[in-house]
Structure formats: C-alpha cells, structure tokens
Amino acid sequence: MISLVAHSGGPTAVINASLLGVIEEARRHPAITGLYGARNGIEGILAGNFVDLFRQDPRTVDAVSRAPGSALGSSRLEVSPDQLERALGVMRSKGVRYLFYTGGNGSMGTAWQIENMARDLHYELRVIGIPKTIDNDLFETDHTPGYAGTARFFACAVRDIGADNLSLPGQVEFVEVLGRNAGWLVAATSLARHQPDDAPHLIYFPEVRLPLEKLMDEIDAVYRRLGRCVIAVCEGQLDENGEPFGADVREGSRGSLAMNLAHRLAVLVAGGLRLRTRSEKPGLLGRSSVAFPCPTDWEEARLCGQAAVRAAVEGVSGQMITLLRNPGESYSVSTGRTDFANVAFREKLFPAEWRDPAGAGVVPAFRDWAAPLVGPIAPYPRLD
C-alpha cells in the first residue's frame, strides 16, 4: 500500500516527532510499500509535490524530528469541494491508499471531508488524523501534541519576566500568550507561581469577557500590594462588548484576531492608572522555540504518529488518534481513536471549573493536571 503524510495548520515544536513516528512504524509493516510526504500539506497534494520518505536516511529523520517547524511544510489553504476532488484524483493516480493528516480541529474537518468524498467516489482510501495543536482545543483527547512544549515556554517566559519585574519595582507588564479562543496556554503560566508574590499576578481567559474597568481595578489592587504587577493575557481576550480593546485586528483562516493586544492594554492602563507599563508578545516564538525542552511532548507526538499507521494497517478510517491518561499515581498515556465527527470544527475551551472564582487565576486541580505534561518550572532562589 502506498501511504501519504500531510501537515496542516500552524506547525509546532514537535510536529516532526509525529512524522518520525509515522516513518518508523510504516517501515515495520511489509504491507506499506511506499511512504510519501506532501510538500506544504494540501497544496502539495494538489500539485502532486511529494517527497519519498522511505529514501530518507534514518539518522536525518531522527535529527529532523527534534527540530521545530514542519519538515514537510504545512498549509492553511481552505479548500473548495472542487479542490478536494482534484486532490483525491492526484492521490488516486499515485496509488495512495493510506492518508495520514496532521492538524487541529479545522484540519480534522478537512480530513473528514476527504474521507467522505473518497467514499462517495468509491475510492478505497483510509484516512487517519494525527492530533496537533498548541491551543489544546481538540475534543476527545486528554491533551494534544504541541501543547505541553508551548505551555512550558510561556510558563518559563512569565517566570523570567517576573524575576525582572521583581528586580525593578514600579512597573506593570503584560505578557500576551497564544491560544486564540481557548485559555489552556495562558492557564499554564500559573505553573510559574511558587510564592504568593510570584508572577503572573493576574491571568485572564478568553472564555470570559473582561471589562476594562475590572482590569484596571484588579491591576490597581495588585500594584498597591506589591508595587508591581505581571499580567498574563490570551491573544483572544475581548472586552465586555466582544471587542479587542481597540487593538488592530487581522482576518485569518480561523477568523479575526488582535495583532497588538498586550500593547494596546499597556497603553490603556498607563493612561488610566498613571503607571509605567510595558508589553511583551513572544508570539510565534512560543510555538517554535525549543529553548525549554519538553521530552513528554516529543514522545507523545511520536506515539501518535506510530498509532496512526497501526490504525490504517488494521483497516481503520475516518478517525483521529487520541491520547488517554492512564489511571494511577504515576503519569502515563495510551492512545485511542475517535471519529472525525467528534472533533472536526469544534473548539474545546478551558473548563470553567478550573478557573479560580476568587480571582484571576486557576484552581489547584488544573495545576495537578498540567504539571506532568509541562514538567517542573523551577523557581529562582532569593536572598534571605
């Protein structure tokens, strides 16, 4: 059987580990006679631009698996029904029987459409989804490959900014965190807290509208207590009117998103509270950096790639691989599967019960859930 791998959506620091898993597992099955990668996802499929993955040196593949970004390239192209039919025609002409599609909820929607159209056209194609998103907003899986490493980056970044903020009191600092409409990543910055006055002092979730007056009041309260303040805010945060506080907005494949939210909030707070403010936006550095390694994320991404190949060989189609947390005191996972219909075009938001009702933060249950994924965020020592 000829197999094909395609990446879709924004890359992560571990997407190539999933690719490694696919290649490793495919080499173990004599039924798979060829394995190709589509250059730049669906665009590569449409163009018939494939890379022979079985001809790659295993040492090169292993080295690439530890690099961020997508070794094959990815795509955010929103395909029309005509383009999907053309893509199926290309795959059919190349003899492709297994398709491994790596991405988030929108990508799983595309994979679902491909699987349905192949069935309608009487084309025997097995389509398996490999989960990938830093936003952690896929249903049916405990978490997604790409989330833990990015969560670790932002937790470490806020910890380090907090140390700077402690050194020179008198400043309010906004840290803009990725995540779009889901607060999983901004919640993870709470792992930087070890002492009551550690950053982040305030965490805001895009699931909850934030009146500017409330933001001002809560910053003012922290500043009066500590003489400084660090705020972690998700890029998708909106005010009580559903607007991004007057920030510049860009339109993308997944809707509108503020381009300079933290900067805009810093300007508003500086004017409203007469305080010195600053904003930081790591942006795509958060999803592409490997400066803070997260071995668990890498291993689980690889595991998902391996499981996808096994599923296809077993005759499965129209399903995405999931990660299931095993019961017990020590952390471990196994893989499962779920139908595309359960995950396609659906956003799993941060649970309300994990937000701290007493303030802008999280409850211990979230930290207990996230800590095994992200790994320890060691505090910095202080002088007695």
Q: Are residues 178 and 278 in the same domain?
A: yes
Three-state secondary-structure class, residue 272: helix
Question: C-alpha angle with apex 372: 207 to 289, nearest 5 degrees?
Answer: 70
Burial group, residue 110, by CB count within 10 angstroms (0-12, 13-18, 19+) = buried
**Are residues 138 and 12 part of one domain?**
yes
Per residue in 324-356, pLDDT tens?
A: 999 999 999 999 999 999 999 999 999 999 999
- Same domain (yes/no): 279, 167: yes
Task: For residues 332 and 254, state if they share a domain.
Answer: no
Query: How far lies 175's CA from each of 38, 86, 199, 229, in Å?
Result: 36, 44, 11, 11
| Together in a domain, 17 and 119 | yes
- Per the domain annotation, does 254 fall within a domain? yes
| 271 and 164 housed in the same domain | yes
CATH code of the domain containing 263: 3.40.50.460
In a domain, 384, yes or no: no
> Does 214 map to a domain?
yes
Domain count, the chain: 2
Same domain, 356 and 210: yes
For residue 12, what is the domain's CATH number? Answer: 3.40.50.450
Amino acid at 81: P
Task: Please tell me the distance from the alpha carbon of residue 225 to that of residue 196, in angstroms, as a whole number.
Answer: 11
Instruction: Answer whether residue 243 is part of any domain.
Output: yes
Q: Are residues 28 and 133 in the same domain?
A: yes
Question: Which of 356, 383, 361, 14 has the alpha carbon at shortest distance from 192?
Answer: 361
Ranges assigned E (strand) in the chain: 2-7, 34-38, 50-52, 96-103, 126-131, 171-177, 202-204, 229-234, 249-252, 255-258, 276-280, 319-325, 333-339
Distance CA 178, CA 154 (A): 9
Q: Is residue 85 part of a domain?
A: yes
pLDDT value of position 253:
64
* Statement to judge: residues 222 and 362 lie in one domain: yes
Instruction: Determine if residue 17 is left, alpha or beta; phi over 0 gives left, psi from -120 to 50 gives alpha, anything else beta.
Output: alpha
Looking at the fold, whether 164 and 282 belong to one and the same domain comes out as yes
Q: What is the pLDDT of residue 251?
A: 82
The reply to whether 117 and 252 lie within a common domain is no
**Nearest-angstrom CA–CA distance, 30 and 166:** 60
Residue 136 CB partners (closer than 8 Å, separation 6+): 143, 144, 147, 151, 182, 184, 185, 348
Task: Determine if residue 246 is left, alpha or beta; phi over 0 gives left, psi from -120 to 50 gives alpha, anything else beta.
Answer: left
Range of the structural domain that residue 115 is part of:
2-146+292-342
Task: Choose, from 52, 62, 82, 135, the residue flagged as catalytic.
Answer: 135
Q: Could you tell me if residue 379 is inside a domain?
A: no
The answer to the question of residue 382 being in a domain is no
Alpha carbon 306 to chain centroid distance? 20
For the stretch 1-13, pLDDT in tens is 999 999 999 999 9
Q: Is residue 221 part of a domain?
A: yes
Is the dihedral angle over the CA atoms 283, 288, 289, 292 positive or is it negative? positive
57 annotated active-site: no
pLDDT below 70 — which residues of the chain? 252-254
133 and 263 assigned to the same domain: no
Q: Check residue 341 and report its DSSP letter.
A: G
